[in-house]
Amino acid sequence: MECDAGLVSPGGNNAKAVLCQRCGSKVLLPGSARYCQRELFLPSMRKKNALLADDSPDGEMLKDHWLVDDMYTFENVGFTKDVGNIKYLICADCEIGPIGWHCLEDKKSFYVALERVKHE
């Protein structure tokens, strides 16, 4: 998936609000995240308890992400329990996910996959 030009501002930030695909809850305000490309594996979308129970989840490699450098930038996001050295980002309202990825070794990098959210 190539990033839709209307989603990225000239400065490289998100031009629109980032919302949960399922419930529409606001995850990020416009301008609060930077577009980046990094290949990350995300398990298939499901509720948080099912996500944690699966030892070898199905999923996909995703390349287009919003990068947030401070967890307090999010309007609404939840985290799974640690899965190795990773926490997955989920919608805090409906608990569907993962919508993103965070490595515990890097305190300043929170990735939200463009394909797992909607924009408004």
- Whether pTM > 0.85 for this model: the answer is yes
Q: What is the pLDDT of residue 50?
A: 60
Residue type at position 11: G
Residue 51 CB: number of other CB atoms within 10 A? Answer: 21
Pick left, alpha or beta for residue 99 (phi over 0 → left; psi -120 to 50 → alpha; otherwise beta). alpha
Amino acid identity at 76? N
The amino acid sitting at 4 is D
Cβ 1 vs Cβ 64: under 8 Å: yes
The secondary element (H helix, E strand) that includes residue 38 is strand 34-43
For each of the chain's 120 residues, which pLDDT tens digit applies? Answer: 456 668 999 999 999 999 999 999 999 999 999 999 999 999 998 766 665 565 656 899 999 999 999 999 999 999 998 889 999 999 999 999 999 999 999 989 999 999 999 999
pLDDT of residue 52: 58
What is the pLDDT at residue 23? 96
